[in-house]
């Protein structure tokens, strides 16, 4: 009885906006009743957003994979190919620009440039590609890469991380994705990604980026064998940096997919573990504005449920996605379905920008968009039926 009372006391404090310790967060994550945890997280969300708490957002974006050649060989990844493999491919710039044109044509506002750590691609490669994209499509936000790519490209080019960030930012990068965070604590990170930089170095590079005015998101890969304590430690490491920089716009947990990779699904996170993480993140990360649900890896129903556990955003209609799809994520959606999922969760859907401003609030179902071309995986090497919509015409970039 005392233990339950203590848990409720911590939940009440967190729900009221008080800061909780990592030890308290771990106890809540392990032991608090699921619905009580969700209620407290939802109370935090409603207080934070006040007059717009009735709105939940989504974005239309495209992941453009420029190469699958990678020297990092992470054990959870089903996308990469060793550099000397006959399965290696690299997209030419012309093809990348065509995909950007399709994105604009379909109302997309953001691209995520995502690929392997190619042994030959230094800062110059990204400068060339980002400047070409920005010249042709200045309206597209380049929300791409992460600290791991910075560590790699700076090593290839023989420059500091700070110089690499300055140069690609000047070339057109707007903000960093949370790519490469996986698990930040040393034991699970070494187990699944032994060739990657340490979690401390990942955060150090993000802190440099924030100091240069380049904001980012933060992520967590759940279900590769990490402990509950290590999950909370991951959150603590993010919160500590956020206290100093304020540069993380959002936190996005997603679940490991078990197909076609070296881990072979020996461990996985359950839907309940995922929902508990969404809730505990909303309670613990009192300095991070947004918590995003990930329908792509946990499914649309669980994604919808996340909106009742502290999430204020349901992610994206991904016009193209190959990385987690290669590992078995088969969930697909479209804009109309995502709007419907949000509405049936009791919220008003809104299309957002990368920086979370509302671009279009769907407050009247009679005015909902009806373009059935805006569908996830219009182009995918990983999901059968990805088509790249041949009927779409390249718009005149001039």
> Annotated binding site for S-adenosyl-L-methionine: which residue ranges?
76, 182
Q: How far is Cα 165 from Cα 171, in angstroms, rounded to an integer? A: 10
Q: How far is Cα 77 from Cα 94, in angstroms, rounded to an integer? A: 27
Q: What is the DSSP annotation of 25-42?
A: HHHHHHHS-HHHHHHHHH
Let me know the angle formed at the C-alpha of 330 by 324 and 335, rounded to the nearest 5 degrees. Answer: 95
> Annotated binding site for [4Fe-4S] cluster: which residue ranges?
70, 74, 77
Cα torsion for 206, 277, 351, 135, to the nearest 10°? 20
- Three-class SS state of 158: coil
Contact 382, 325 (CB under 8 A): yes
Nearest to 216 by CA among 176, 258, 271: 176
Nearest to 64 by CA among 19, 98, 38, 29: 98
Q: Which residues of 15-43 are buried (b: 16+ CB within 10 A; e: fewer)?
A: beeeebebebbbbbbeebeeebbbbbbbb
Contact 317, 379 (CB under 8 A): no
Give the Å distances, CA to CA, from 370 to 138, 164, 165, 314, 366. 26, 42, 40, 19, 10
Contact 150, 210 (CB under 8 A): no
> Annotated binding site for (3R)-3-methyl-D-ornithine: which residue ranges?
294, 316
Q: What is the DSSP annotation of 106-148?
A: TT--EEEEE----TT--HHHHHHHHHHHHHH-TTSEEEE--HH
- Three-class SS state of 273: helix
> Annotated binding site: which residue ranges?
70, 74, 76-77, 182, 294, 316
């Amino acid at each position: 009885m005392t233990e339950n009372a203590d848990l409720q006391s911590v939940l009440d404090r967190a729900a009221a906006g008080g800061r909780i310790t990592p030890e308290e967060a771990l106890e809540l994550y392990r032991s608090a009743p699921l619905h009580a945890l969700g209620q407290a997280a939802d109370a935090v969300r409603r207080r934070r957003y006040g007059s717009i708490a009735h709105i939940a957002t989504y974005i239309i974006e495209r992941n453009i994979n420029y190469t699958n050649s990678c020297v990092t060989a992470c054990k959870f990844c089903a996308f990469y190919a060793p550099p000397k493999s006959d399965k290696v491919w690299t997209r030419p710039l012309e093809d990348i620009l065509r995909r950007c044109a399709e994105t604009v044509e379909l109302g997309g506002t953001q691209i995520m440039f995502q690929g392997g750590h190619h042994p030959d691609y230094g800062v110059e490669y990204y400068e060339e590609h980002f400047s070409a994209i920005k010249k042709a499509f200045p309206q597209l936000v380049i929300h791409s890469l992460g600290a791991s790519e910075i560590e790699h490209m700076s090593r290839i080019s023989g420059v500091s991380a700070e110089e690499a960030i300055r140069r690609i930012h000047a070339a057109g990068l707007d903000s960093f994705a949370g790519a490469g965070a996986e698990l930040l604590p040393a034991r699970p990170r070494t187990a699944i990604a032994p060739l990657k930089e340490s979690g401390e170095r990942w955060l150090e590079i993000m802190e440099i980026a924030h100091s240069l005015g380049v904001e980012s998101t933060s992520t967590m890969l759940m279900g590769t064998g990490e402990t509950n304590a290590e999950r909370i430690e991951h959150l603590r490491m993010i919160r500590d940096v956020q206290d100093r920089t304020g540069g993380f716009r959002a936190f996005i947990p997603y679940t490991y997919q078990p197909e076609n990779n070296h881990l072979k699904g020996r461990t996985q996170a359950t839907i309940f573990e995922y929902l508990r993480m969404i809730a505990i993140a909303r309670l613990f990360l009192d300095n991070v504005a947004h918590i995003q649900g990930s329908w792509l890896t946990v499914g649309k129903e669980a994604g919808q449920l996340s909106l009742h556990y502290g999430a204020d955003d349901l992610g994206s209609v991904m016009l193209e996605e190959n990385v987690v799809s290669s590992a078995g994520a088969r969930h697909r959606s479209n804009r109309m379905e995502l709007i419907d999922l949000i509405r049936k969760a009791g919220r008003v859907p809104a299309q957002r920008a990368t920086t979370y401003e509302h671009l279009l609030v769907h407050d009247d179902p009679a005015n909902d968009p009806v373009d059935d071309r805006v569908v996830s995986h219009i182009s995918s090497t990983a999901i059968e039926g990805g088509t790249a919509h041949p009927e779409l015409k390249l718009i005149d970039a001039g």
